[in-house]
Amino acid sequence: MTKRLFVYGSLKKGFGNHALLEDSLFICKALTIQPLVLIDLGSFPAVLMEKGESQVSGEVYEVTDSVFESIEHLEGYPSFYNRTDIPVLLNPGTDGETVEAIPIYHLNRESGYGDRSQVVKDGIWQEHVYSKDRGYYHG
């Protein structure tokens, strides 16, 4: 059985944990419908399920149950991250735009993390990671 999953950080193409998705079907780029808070936790981001300034940019994949279980382990579900189905805009900015409820991992507030001073204001993790200000800039 397969299911769809919205990813926005280290599981996206070009990041270290994407290897978990290498055999999964990439569906499309996507945005959260609701503006949410995306924060920088150092080597990875986290979404806070509260109103933010920007939609969160991500990718949607079709994953098998075994891949889903591996990702649950990576995300520390349910102690570090929780998982919730939220409305996501698929193929934003194209003629094929649609909305679908898709699971997203978000920070469990009881984990003790979540400093709002580390907000990724534009909701785009890869631009934040490779910015001159953060130190990973390769331009």
C-alpha distances (whole Å) from 114 to each of 6, 8, 82, 97 are 20, 16, 13, 32
CB 100 within 8 A of CB 87: yes
Q: Which residue has the tokens 């189905």?
A: 85
**Alpha-carbon dihedral angle through residues 92, 85, 19, 30, given to the nearest 10 degrees:** 0
Strand-pairing partners, residue 90, are 30, 98
Count of positions (residues) in the chain: 139
d(CA 10, CA 76): 14
Catalytic-role residue among 75, 100, 110, 127? 75
Q: Quick check: is 75 catalytic? A: yes
d(CA 96, CA 92): 8
Residues annotated catalytic, as ranges? 75
